[in-house]
């Protein structure tokens, strides 16, 4: 103590004090602040191993032991976690039966299993990532602009009201009325099956949010005039006319002409 | 009685209201009830118009969520008008006389004297006018009347004329678009320029020329977009079987016209795995990996391809206009 007190007026004391203060404040902040690791951080090794095990058991017969692809299934290297999440959580994969295209069904996996498989495939090569909650937040999106974008990019396959449409030779673009924002995002980013890929460069995050907001408004839309007859327009409306309405008109004509009792 | 038609010789069956006075009164009450209900529905219409908020949504089984006011207005007004007609019909059916009567008709065929007289008039007219005799008059008259519509046809053909400053024929207008060498490609609706690395393999972008916004603003119409709309697709370079020109792609990115060569519907339905472009109107299918050749459907010609490259800043540009007119065939088109 006498040693330090004797040198308290030394000019080096100021530098020493400054260093001490910086270290104290910086270290204190680091200790109490809950700093997240970088988003691109690799998932925990155990999750990837779990995903690998699930992959080998369920997917490798068609997609290859190292996900390199076989005659029965394309390579999964580079498809990204988003593709796995979309295909497996909607039940399209594992493929139930060969046919024109894989159809959505009840997924046999839990969310953790899907996440593990996605982590495994993502670890093979960089690819589209699963969207974050911030990505999927469409509360501030411009719904009208979403409508413009939907009609430019989506309506030709999925129909103007998102009811789905036919492609060639048995393939189809599905109905969007039950699609969650995450599924919509992942489908746009990964281009499943016949669907083209709408990357972040050509359809930026804001535009994707607008499209999701528009589809959401379609899902919540009520039908002001009554029966919407499937919202696909003239075909169902014409059928209704030619059957029910004509039957009613003929019935009315018969009633008018027939002799009363 | 004068004006009354004679009764027909058929067995007349009496209605219940004819024989039973209680039934007749019941029918009267029913018909009056229909008119009364119509009045009530009209009152209901006014109440629904004034009282129900336009945005109210109500759930009706089988119908789902529907607009409350719309349904109420429809039922009340439709019911009111139907009941007026229905009441009138019931009145006629149940209470008004329903006796079968005979209505006489004359024979359709004219009497013989009239036919002979008419024939005589015609023959005399032919004879006195000399129509058969004066061959020169007849032939020149027919010639004059036959050639008379020709000025009309010529005037119709000449109906189109553009503004005085514009010298182009319709064929010339249809044969060119606003694409030029160096014209930047931008996304449709959002007008963002496109870099090659923005488009992944299997990607699809609907695109227009960068100058389209200004052209449309100056012209006040969308005619330029109707010819210049394109789609950009990307595939692996080794998947491209053939193109309409050497090196018209850029590292696997191909630009094709969006306008179907059949009747002109814009096509954006692209299946990335098969590289097929399917027109929704008549299902013409084009294989974009094979010079846009028609693989199905009524289109007779390939989809025109636009040659593309990149500019000094790395954005995709057109290298030239289309080599053929886009869209459906027209008379002056060479193929």
Residues on chain A touching B62 (C-beta within 8 angstroms): 227
Q: CB–CB of A167 and B278 under 8 A?
A: yes
By the CB < 8 Å criterion, does A73 face chain B?
Answer: no
pLDDT of B1 reads 60
Q: Is B207 exposed, middle or buried (0-12, 13-18, 19+ CB in 10 A)?
A: buried
Residues on chain A touching B267 (C-beta within 8 angstroms): 156
Q: CB–CB of A191 and B192 under 8 A?
A: no
Same-domain status, A151 and A213 = yes
Same-domain status, B293 and B193 = yes
pLDDT of A87 reads 94
pLDDT of A38 reads 43
Q: B124: which 2 tokens?
A: 């005399």
Residue of chain B whose alpha carbon sits nearest to that of A200: B198
Q: CB–CB of A226 and B194 under 8 A?
A: no
Residues on chain A touching B199 (C-beta within 8 angstroms): 199, 201-202
Residue of chain B whose alpha carbon sits nearest to that of A189: B203
Q: CB–CB of A256 and B89 under 8 A?
A: yes
Select from A168, A193, A199 the Cβ nearest to the Cβ of B203.
A199
pLDDT in tens, A94-144: 888 888 899 999 998 999 999 999 999 999 999 999 999 999 999 999 999
Q: CB–CB of A201 and B296 under 8 A?
A: no
By the CB < 8 Å criterion, does A234 face chain B?
Answer: no
pLDDT in tens, B104-122: 888 889 999 999 999 999 9
C-alpha A68, offset from chain centre: 24
Q: CB–CB of A202 and B74 under 8 A?
A: no
Q: B244: which 2 tokens?
A: 């309409």
pLDDT in tens, B138-151: 999 999 999 999 99
User: Would you say residue A174 lies in a domain?
Assistant: yes
Q: Which of A64, A95, A124 is the last residue of a domain?
A: A124
The number of helix segments (H) and strand segments (E) in chain A equals 12, 2
Same-domain status, A67 and A113 = yes
User: Would you say residue A77 lies in a domain?
Assistant: yes
Same-domain status, B72 and B121 = no
pLDDT of B324 reads 93
Residue A5 banded pLDDT, cuts 50, 70, 90: confident
Same-domain status, A112 and A175 = no
pLDDT of B249 reads 94
DSSP state of A196: P
At residue B159, does pLDDT exceed 80? no
Taking residues A75-87, report their average pLDDT: 93
By the CB < 8 Å criterion, does A260 face chain B?
Answer: yes
User: Would you say residue B271 lies in a domain?
Assistant: yes
At residue B176, does pLDDT exceed 50? yes
Rounded to a whole number of angstroms, the distance from the CA of A185 to the nearest CA of chain B is: 15
Gap between the Cα atoms of A187 and B112, Å rounded: 85
User: Would you say residue B82 lies in a domain?
Assistant: yes
Select from B70, B201, B274 the Cβ nearest to the Cβ of A224.
B70
User: Among A217-221, B63-67, B228-232, where is mean pLDDT lowest?
Assistant: B63-67
**Percentage of the residues of chain A whose pLDDT score is greater than 90:** 62
Rounded to a whole number of angstroms, the distance from the CA of B53 to the nearest CA of chain A is: 12
- Chain A contact probe: residue of B14, B93, B236, B316 with most A CBs at under 10 A: B93
Contact A131, A82 (CB under 8 A): yes
By the CB < 8 Å criterion, does A164 face chain B?
Answer: no
Gap between the Cα atoms of A109 and A89, Å rounded: 8
Which CATH number characterizes residue B217's domain?
Answer: 2.102.10.10
Same-domain status, B181 and B292 = yes
Count how many domains chain A has. 2
ipTM for this prediction:
0.74
At residue B165, does pLDDT exceed 80? no
Taking residues A255-259, report their average pLDDT: 91
User: Would you say residue B55 lies in a domain?
Assistant: yes
User: Among B31-40, B75-84, B161-170, where is mean pLDDT lowest?
Assistant: B161-170
- Look up the domain containing A158 and give its range: 143-220
Select from B189, B204, B283 the Cβ nearest to the Cβ of A196.
B204
**Percentage of the residues of chain A whose pLDDT score is greater than 70:** 95
Q: CB–CB of A196 and B270 under 8 A?
A: yes
pLDDT of B172 reads 84
Q: Which of A91, A124, A157 is the last residue of a domain?
A: A124
pLDDT of B76 reads 97
Select from B189, B192, B272 the Cβ nearest to the Cβ of A194.
B272
User: Would you say residue B133 lies in a domain?
Assistant: yes
At residue A35, does pLDDT exceed 70? no
At residue B164, does pLDDT exceed 70? no
User: Would you say residue A30 lies in a domain?
Assistant: no
pLDDT of A137 reads 94
Q: Which of A80, A96, A124 is the last residue of a domain?
A: A124
Same-domain status, B131 and B89 = no
Rounded to a whole number of angstroms, the distance from the CA of A230 to the nearest CA of chain B is: 11
Taking residues A208-226, report their average pLDDT: 93
At residue B162, does pLDDT exceed 70? no
User: Would you say residue A21 lies in a domain?
Assistant: no
A83: Cβ contacts below 8 Å, ≥ 6 apart: A76, A121, A127, A128, A186, A190, A192
Contact B30, B90 (CB under 8 A): yes
pLDDT of A1 reads 67
Q: CB–CB of B271 and A194 under 8 A?
A: yes
Same-domain status, B205 and B241 = yes
pLDDT in tens, B56-98: 999 988 888 899 999 999 999 999 999 999 999 999 999 998 8
Residue of chain A whose alpha carbon sits nearest to that of B19: A261
At residue A245, does pLDDT exceed 80? yes
The structure tokens 């998932």 sit at: A43
pLDDT of A41 reads 46
pLDDT of B36 reads 98
- Look up the domain containing B43 and give its range: 16-94
Select from B64, B187, B197 the Cβ nearest to the Cβ of A223.
B64
The structure tokens 């155990």 sit at: A46
Count how many domains chain B has. 3
At residue B37, does pLDDT exceed 70? yes
Select from A148, A156, A204 the Cβ nearest to the Cβ of B268.
A156
Phi, psi at A239, each rounded to 5°: -60, -45
User: Would you say residue A175 lies in a domain?
Assistant: yes
Mean pLDDT rounded to a whole number for chain B: 91
Cβ neighbours, 10 Å, residue A258: 9
Mean pLDDT rounded to a whole number for chain A: 89
Same-domain status, B64 and B196 = no
Residues on chain B touching A167 (C-beta within 8 angstroms): 269, 271, 278
User: Would you say residue B261 lies in a domain?
Assistant: yes
Residue of chain B whose alpha carbon sits nearest to that of A165: B280
DSSP class per residue in B74-85: HHHHHHHHHHHH
The structure tokens 């699930």 sit at: A54
Gap between the Cα atoms of A64 and A77, Å rounded: 11
Gap between the Cα atoms of A48 and A65, Å rounded: 15
User: Would you say residue B197 lies in a domain?
Assistant: yes
Chains A and B form CB pairs within 8 A to the count of: 111
Taking residues B167-188, report their average pLDDT: 89
Which CATH number characterizes residue A90's domain?
Answer: 1.10.760.10
pLDDT of B160 reads 65
By the CB < 8 Å criterion, does A77 face chain B?
Answer: no
At residue A39, does pLDDT exceed 60? no
By the CB < 8 Å criterion, does A191 face chain B?
Answer: yes
pLDDT of A260 reads 84
At residue A37, does pLDDT exceed 50? no
What's the distance, Cα to Cα, between the start and end of chain A in Å? 125
């Amino acid at each position: 103590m006498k040693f330090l007190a004797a040198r308290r007026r030394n000019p080096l004391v100021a530098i020493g004090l400054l260093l001490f203060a910086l270290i104290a404040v910086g270290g204190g902040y680091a200790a109490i602040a809950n700093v997240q690791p970088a988003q691109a951080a690799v998932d925990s090794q155990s999750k990837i191993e779990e995903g690998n095990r699930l992959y080998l058991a369920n997917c490798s017969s068609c997609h290859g032991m190292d996900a390199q692809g076989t005659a029965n299934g394309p390579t999964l290297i580079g498809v990204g976690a988003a593709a796995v999440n979309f295909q497996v959580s909607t039940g399209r994969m594992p493929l139930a039966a060969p046919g024109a295209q894989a159809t959505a069904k009840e997924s046999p996996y839990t969310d953790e299993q899907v996440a593990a498989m996605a982590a495994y495939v993502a670890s093979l090569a960089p690819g589209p990532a699963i969207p974050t909650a911030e990505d999927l937040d469409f509360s501030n999106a411009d719904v009208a602009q979403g409508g413009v974008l939907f009609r430019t990019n989506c309506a030709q396959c999925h129909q103007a009201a998102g009811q789905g449409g036919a492609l060639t030779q048995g393939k189809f673009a599905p109905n969007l009325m039950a699609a969650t924002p995450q599924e919509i995002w992942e489908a746009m980013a990964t281009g499943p099956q016949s669907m083209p890929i709408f990357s972040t460069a050509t359809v930026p995050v804001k535009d994707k949010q607008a499209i999701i907001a528009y589809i959401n408004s379609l899902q919540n839309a009520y039908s002001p005039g009554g029966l919407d007859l499937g919202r696909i327009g003239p075909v169902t409306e014409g059928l209704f006319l030619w059957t029910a309405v004509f039957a009613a008109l003929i019935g009315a004509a018969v009633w008018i002409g027939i002799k009363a009792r | 009685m004068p004006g009354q038609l004679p009764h027909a010789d058929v067995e007349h069956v009496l209605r219940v209201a004819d024989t039973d006075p209680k039934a007749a009164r019941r029918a009267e009450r029913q018909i009056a009830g229909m008119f009364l209900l119509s009045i009530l529905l009209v009152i209901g219409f006014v109440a629904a118009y004034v009282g129900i908020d336009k945005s109210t949504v109500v759930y009706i089984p089988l119908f789902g969520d529907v607009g409350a006011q719309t349904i109420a207005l429809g039922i009340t007004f439709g019911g009111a008008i139907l009941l007026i007609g229905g009441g009138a019909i019931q009145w006629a059916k149940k209470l008004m006389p329903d006796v079968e009567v005979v209505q006489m008709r004359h024979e359709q065929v004219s009497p013989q004297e009239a036919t002979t007289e008419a024939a005589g008039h015609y023959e005399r007219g032919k004879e006195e006018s000399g129509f058969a005799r004066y061959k020169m008059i007849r032939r020149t008259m027919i010639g004059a009347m036959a050639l008379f519509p020709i000025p009309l046809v010529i005037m119709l053909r000449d109906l189109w004329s553009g503004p005085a400053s514009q010298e182009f024929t319709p064929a010339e207008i249809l044969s060119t678009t606003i694409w030029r060498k160096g014209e930047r490609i931008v996304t449709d609706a959002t007008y963002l320029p496109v870099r090659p690395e923005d488009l992944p393999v299997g990607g699809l972008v609907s695109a227009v020329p960068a100058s389209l916004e200004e052209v449309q603003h100056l012209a006040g119409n969308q005619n330029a977009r109707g010819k210049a709309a394109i789609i950009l697709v990307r595939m692996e370079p080794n998947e491209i079987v053939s193109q309409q020109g050497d090196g018209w792609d850029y590292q696997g990115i191909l630009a094709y016209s969006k306008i179907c060569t059949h009747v002109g519907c814009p096509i954006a339905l692209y299946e990335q795995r098969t590289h097929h472009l399917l027109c929704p109107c008549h299902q013409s299918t084009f294989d974009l990996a094979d010079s846009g050749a028609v693989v199905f459907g009524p289109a007779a010609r390939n989809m025109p391809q636009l040659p593309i490259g990149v500019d000094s800043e790395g954005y995709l540009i057109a290298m030239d206009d289309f080599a053929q007119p886009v869209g459906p065939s027209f008379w002056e088109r060479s193929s």
